[in-house]
Chain A
Amino acid sequence: MAETSGTAHAEGQQHPISTYFKVWGLLFVLSAASYAVDYFHVESYLRWTLILVFMMAKAGLIVAVFMHMRWERLALLYAITLPPVLVLVFVFLMTFEADYTFLTRGLFFSS
């Protein structure tokens, strides 16, 4: 395994066309599924779980196969994929900020 993947890109990224068709089909199915979540009015936590799972699955497929990340060396993979993970800290912070703003608005605008 260690010997092959280091030399696989000597002539650029070349993978069988069936790989792309499979991923294309999967992306279609996942998009249709997330549209169905809205169409059939799935609500609350189930809705959110499904939407986020389909979103991450689609994003993962695009990055891994279409953008060839799964065939790259880890040095590039980590340099590109780890920094966006830190955005989650930002999401966490802004959730608190938004809740706080919502609360104070409720207190001051209602009276």
Chain B
Amino acid sequence: MTQSTMTESGPTPSPSALSRPDGMTGFVADWGSDQRAFKNVPWGKAMMWIFLLSDTFIFSCFLLSYMTVRMSTTVPWPNPSEVFALSFGGEPIPLILIAIMTFILISSSGTMAMAVMFGYKRDRKTTAILMIVTALFGASFVGMQAFEWTKLIVDEGVRPWGNPMGAAQFGSTFFMITGFHGFHVSIGVIFLFIVARKVWRGDFDRAVPGFFTSRKGNYEIVEIMGLYWHFVDLVWVFIFAVFYLW
């Protein structure tokens, strides 16, 4: 079997690929073979997955330290349901902003998944539009987070070292976790615009070398970008559950 070179595109399936075993036998065979464990995955996608795995550990450490300080404090923890409530003239609705942010991020994941699909269909215009919609959802998410932070810092007096409502660790873990997540979203928005521009211009159809690595891109870039974006949504699922709903 010809060893595929480390180019941008994934290995073209050789005749031997068709008879590749599946299931547990395939798992053992893939890992037991020479040089390449991830057989039909382009290297960029495998590397994105491994980056996301390392990022998973970072967020796990944040959420774990949050869990530890919250369980070990003897001072009452501020009730997130009340802290993050928002009133539109009448009764305050608990967690309403967080719920809206959650729905926005899920919607952005939906449009991103469709962008990947239209990318592989070589539908440039739809792909680019869907990616820009995704980026706008992401930008509005960051905007709402900025609003939330402002409300907490200015109106409620929450600081990383203390707050008037209870345990001091509330502020430090909140700013650390949501700040790091918001940073991920912001980076994602920037890269979504960059990739959307490339799709729009048809860089991936003409295999134009990238400005940074000079590698020729193709529509796998859209899928790799999508993996990152879905991961941001995935982290929010965990933050929403353990930070806001605890």
> Which 4 A-B residue pairs are closest in the complex by CB-CB distance?
A98-B71, A75-B30, A101-B72, A55-B241
A/B interface sample: 15 pairs, CB < 8 A? A1-B22, A5-B22, A7-B18, A9-B10, A11-B120, A14-B121, A20-B110, A39-B95, A55-B237, A66-B112, A75-B26, A76-B46, A80-B53, A83-B56, A87-B60
Measured CB to CB, the closest approach of chain A to B50, in angstroms, equals 8
B interface residues, how many (CB within 8 angstroms): 72
Tell me whether A73 and B18 are in contact in the complex, defined as CB-CB below 8 angstroms, given that A10-B13, A12-B120, A27-B106 are known contacts: no
Measured CB to CB, the closest approach of chain A to B102, in angstroms, equals 5
Measured CB to CB, the closest approach of chain A to B197, in angstroms, equals 21
A61–B120 CA distance with the chains assembled, in angstroms: 21
Answer yes or no: B57 CB below 8 A from chain A CBs.
yes
* Complex contact A6–B22 (CB within 8 A): yes
Which residues in B have some Cβ–Cβ distance to A below 8 Å?
Answer: 10, 12-13, 17-24, 26-27, 30-31, 37-41, 46, 49-50, 52-53, 56-57, 60, 64, 67-74, 81, 94-95, 99, 102-103, 106-107, 109-110, 112-114, 116-117, 119-121, 219-220, 223, 226-227, 230-231, 233-234, 237-238, 240-242, 244-246
Which one of A6, A51, A79, A97 lies within 8 Å of B37 (CB-CB)?
Answer: A79
Q: Chain A, interface size: which category?
A: 35 or more
Inter-chain contacts of B81 with A (CB < 8 A): 38
* Complex contact A76–B41 (CB within 8 A): yes
Inter-chain contacts of B242 with A (CB < 8 A): 55
Measured CB to CB, the closest approach of chain B to A10, in angstroms, equals 5
Tell me whether A28 and B106 are in contact in the complex, defined as CB-CB below 8 angstroms, given that A7-B13, A34-B241, A66-B230 are known contacts: yes
A7–B40 CA distance with the chains assembled, in angstroms: 9
Tell me whether A84 and B121 are in contact in the complex, defined as CB-CB below 8 angstroms, given that A7-B13, A66-B230 are known contacts: no
Inter-chain contacts of A13 with B (CB < 8 A): 116-117, 120, 223
